[in-house]
Structure 1
Amino acid sequence: MSNGSEQQAKDLIAQAQKKLKSWSLFGPSNKYEDAAEIYEKAGNMYKLAQQWSLAGDAFTEAAKLYKKGNSAKFDGSRAYENAAKCYKRNQPADAVFALKEAILLDQEGGNFRAAARHYQEAAELCENDLNDSKEAYESYQKAAELFLADDSPALANKCLLKVAQIAAEMDMYDVAIDKFEQVAAASVDDALLKWSLKEYFLKAGLCHLCTGDIIRTKQAVNGYCAMDMSFETTREYNLLKNIINCVDNGEVEQFTQCVYEYDKLTRLDSWKTALLLKIKKSIEMEDLR
């Protein structure tokens, strides 16, 4: 089956190339689109043969040909998207390139939702497969902007939370704070999202503490209580309040204890743990002065 599909793909590519060399009564655009469709069929045959790189190349070639015809924006974007799906298997950098080519066509066609979705997918590849935090950060940010342009605030907020998370990992705490607080403000009056406020406030508060500005941190936490009256009753508020006291008084052991007590009931993830370690180190450094 695999060898048969692969041979069919090769035959289809030969057919597409022959089509491109032929003269057409209907002009060149039809010739390009016809050849593009054949390349797409070849891509699907390569997928059946599990030749993912060759499948991606075939879909990429189809996209380039669609761009030469009259249906570039929709069909070209779709072909690049299919190429990216194939490249994702073992060539994530090529997948990101294909997605960015799709984005150009999406934006030209005013298809902001598709462009945003492709940016989000590119961001996930940069974050998880390529370990490129800067590119992931920028792509999530662009995805959020386009989701907002498409009037999809929930999808935009999901991307903004990723922007905030990565910004903090890159020590861009003010950006992280701004994004967490932006999502929190958008969630205050939404009954379905309000339960997440304590998480956003905790993350923003930890970022504030990492800046070393304790006065601004206290003001921010007071502001969170004003935004959501129930925040003062949460374990997240108590953790922030206790950490602020420990920073104020230079109490490393007490800091360790209050974090331990919180973690016993609500497991801290690696992101929060990394920020808490930075805060603890700042207390220790202050003690040495």
Structure 2
Amino acid sequence: MSSEQQAKDLINQAQKKLNSWSFFGPSNKYEDAAELYEKAGNMFKLAQQWGNAGDAFVEAAKLFQRGNSAKFEGSRAYDNAAKCYKRSDVSAAVSALKEAVILDQEGGNFRAAARHYQDIAELCESADYDKPKEAYDAYTRSAELYNADDSPALANKCLLKVAQIAADMEMYDVAIEKYEQVAATAVDDPLLKWSLKEYFFKAGLCHLCTGDMVKTTQALSNYCNMDLSFEASREYTLLRGIIDCVDQGDVDQFTQIVYDYDKLSRLDPWKTAVLLKIKKSMESDELR
């Protein structure tokens, strides 16, 4: 018998279970039927019928909710549904994860809810779905829930994603706030202090994108006070040099100092994109 046929047989058994009378009460038959739907979902997975598998797990989750099972069972079923759906329907995967979040929050399982929001955010960032605003919102909620769970390191990881997406959407004030928020938590942590230079660099680049060189200069001064080693870094030198280039309207010098920096410290695609925005802004100012 094929996996697909086994799955269908299990669903038929579940339906019979739901239509039967149970001495132990209705909650028991709902849970029994839910377990049969979960088995059917696994059989559909073996047959690589991802949509049907997801549907079976969603049905299991709904039945767990009708019974007396812990919310964990329903959340787990929705999570399994999402893993199947993302093979064929990202939108359905996101919807399943949102249902899991509701159950996790109601059950006080904030870490699981945070993880599911993180999964939602990653799906929203995928090329197949590409919804940056939804990813931004999901990472924000994930960070809040990780903080509620007293997991600051995981929260900060999400906040850095919030900052990056905010910068991509040209919400520079938000990006700056998040980078500085993460930096503030890292100042007194010996394990995180090595990352300060990176956070300050990204925040500084976002400051430059606002076009306010006075505030950018003040921010760099604050960063140097927070981390005395920052002023001696190549990142600080580049940011300080860009401020001078912007003030003087010197695009050629801007290009040169960025090139010199990149030769020794390779710029990643995100930083390169931000620097190109700054350069284009300088070029447009030249044409006025």
Q: What's the secondary structure of 2:188's corresponding residue? A: coil
Give the corresponding residue for 1:151: 150
CA distance in 1, matches of 2:243, 2:59: 58
**Is it true that 1:48 corresponds to 2:46 in the alignment?**
yes
Instruction: For 2:140 and 2:69, locate their aligned partners in 1 and report how far apart those are by CA, in whole Å.
Output: 29
Show the 5 A alignment for 1:180-199: 180-199=179-198
Q: Cα distance, 1:80 vs. partner?
A: 0.2
Which piece of structure 1 moves more, 13-22 or 262-271? 262-271
What CA distance in whole angstroms lies between the structure 2 residues aligned with 1:96 and 1:286? 43
The runs of 5 or more residues in structure 2 that have no matched partner are: none
Aligned residues: 287
What does 1:92-111 align with in structure 2 at a 5 Å threshold? 92-111=90-109
Shift of 1:72: 4.8
Q: Which moved more, 1:78-87 or 1:264-273?
A: 264-273
- CA deviation map 1:39-74 (0-9, x unaligned): 001111111122111111110100011111111511
Asked whether the 8 Å contact 1:57–1:83 carries over to 2, the reply is yes
Report the equivalent of 1:68. 66
Given the alignment, which residue of 83, 86, 95 partners 1:85? 83
Superposed displacement of residue 248, structure 1: 0.9
Counterparts of 1:1-289 in structure 2, within 5 Å, are 4-128=2-126, 129-289=128-288
CA distance in structure 1 between the aligned counterparts of 2:260 and 2:190, rounded to whole angstroms: 29
Give CA deviations for 1:248-283 in whole Å, capped at 9, x if unaligned. 111100000011111112221221111111111221
Quote how far apart the aligned CAs of 1:26 are: 1.5
Q: Which runs of 5+ in 1 are unaligned?
A: none
Moved more, 232-241 or 176-185: 232-241
In structure 1, C-alpha distance between the alignment counterparts of 2:62 and 2:260, rounded to whole Å: 58
Contact 1:35–1:65, Cα closer than 8 Å, also in 2: yes
Cα deviation for residue 288 of structure 1 reads 2.4
Tell me which moved more, 195-204 or 134-143. Answer: 195-204
Offset of residue 184 of structure 1: 0.5
Question: Which amino acid is the alignment partner of residue 18 of structure 2?
Answer: L
Per the normalisation by structure 1, the TM-score is: 0.97
What does the per-residue CA deviation read over 1:17-50, in whole Å, with 9 as the maximum and x for residues that have no partner?
A: 1101111112111111110000001111111122
Q: Distance in 1 between matches of 2:36 and 2:218?
A: 63
Counterpart of 1:85, as a letter, is K
- The runs of at least 4 consecutive aligned structure 1 residues that moved more than 6 Å come to none
| Separation (CA, whole Å) in 1 of partners of 2:265 and 2:84 | 39
Between the aligned partners of 1:255 and 1:34, the Cα distance in structure 2 is 68
Residues 138-197 of structure 1 deviation map (CA, whole Å, 9 limit, x = unaligned): 000000000000000000000000000000111100000000000011111111111111
CA deviation profile, 1:88-117 (whole Å, cap 9, x unmatched):
112111111100000000000000000000
Q: Percent identity?
A: 75
More moved, 116-125 vs 63-72: 63-72
SS of the residue corresponding to residue 266 of structure 2 reads coil
The answer (yes or no) to whether the contact 1:127–1:133 under 8 Å persists in 2 is yes
Q: 1:72·1:105 contact (CA, 8 Å) conserved in 2?
A: no
CA distance in 1, matches of 2:286, 2:48: 60
Aligned-partner Cα distance in 1 for 2:86–2:228: 45
In 2: Cα distance, 1:78 partner to 1:268 partner: 40
Q: Report the Cα distance in structure 2 between the residues aligned to 1:181 and 1:190, rounded to whole angstroms.
A: 15
TM-score normalised over the length of structure 2 = 0.98
